Amino acid sequence: MSVTLSKRCAAEFFGTFWLTFGGCGSAVLAAAFPNVGIGLTGVSLAFGLTVVTMAFAIGHISGCHLNPAVSLGLFVGKRFPASEILPYWVAQVLGAIAGAGVLYMIASGKSDFSLAGGFASNGFDEHSPGNYTMVAALITEVVLTLFFLIVILGSTSKRAPAGFAPLAIGLCLTLIHLIGIPVTNLSVNPARSTGPAVFVGGWALSQLWLFWIAPLVGAGLGALIYNWLDSD
């Protein structure tokens, strides 16, 4: 039985909520917690785990995109209809904002909480964790999203080993976070970037354009490359 578009969008909402709440939550609540902070490695793993768990939970319902760039890349890869891109994007962005909202309610319960810490927002120049330039941030987000889409399209191919796609995709997301967090806090996901930026405002919103454009470009390029590699 086919799943209605409304239910698929609902699945994308909850899935992207989980990705944003789980991934950004690990950065905001646990990364530098006194004595037992999980650090960059822990945050990277948290983002990967959100995708693995949701891929098994809702992959059969919505495809578990959780990311406007993934939806676009799957369209370019001829795996997703153009007519459903916008509804998926709306569900994903709303889910990310809701996830960031719940995280804000929890994080602000700490006496010394401040949005000045960035609230896991993505940024460049002085808002990059390692003070990387806008150009470095742009290259990082394009290249890492490009490879993310190659892994997604390859692991979900009918010719790939069945049942392993969630692990491959989750491990890929972990890897690219290990690479990219020092540069931009890593996005590769416009919805994930939008959620925290809505609450930080100011610089986070003014730099948000890069974290929409770069992942979308990277996803499109990744899909085109995979299509070429997989063609007869």
Closest listed residue to residue 91, CA positions, set 67, 70, 72: 67
Query: What are the structure tokens assigned to 24, written together?
Result: 């950004």
Is the predicted pLDDT of residue 92 greater than 80, yes or no? yes
Apex 99 CA angle, 76 and 134, nearest 5: 60
Separation of alpha carbons 133 and 6, rounded Å = 40
What tens digit of pLDDT does each residue of 169-212 get? 999 999 999 999 999 999 999 999 999 999 999 999 999 999 99
**What 3-state class would DSSP assign to 12?**
helix
The CA–CA distances, whole Å, from 42 to 46, 177, 192 equal 6, 10, 18
Is the predicted pLDDT of residue 36 greater than 70, yes or no? no
Task: Tell me the one-letter amino acid at 82.
Answer: A
What are the sequence ranges of the domains in the chain?
5-110+119-229
The CA–CA distances, whole Å, from 22 to 6, 30, 169, 229 equal 24, 11, 16, 34
Query: What are the structure tokens assigned to 171, written together?
Result: 């491990």
Instruction: Report the largest interatomic distance among the alpha carbons of the chain, rounded to a whole angstrom.
Output: 60
**What 3-state class would DSSP assign to 157?**
coil
Number of neighbouring beta carbons within 10 Å of residue 94: 18
What tens digit of pLDDT does each residue of 107-135 get? 999 988 999 889 999 999 999 999 999 99
Q: How many residues does the chain have?
A: 232
Separation of alpha carbons 65 and 70, rounded Å = 6
Is the predicted pLDDT of residue 83 greater than 90, yes or no? yes
Domain 5-110+119-229 belongs in CATH node 1.10.1610.10: no
Give residue 31's pLDDT: 83
Number of neighbouring beta carbons within 10 Å of residue 163: 8
Closest listed residue to residue 185, CA positions, set 200, 163, 165: 200
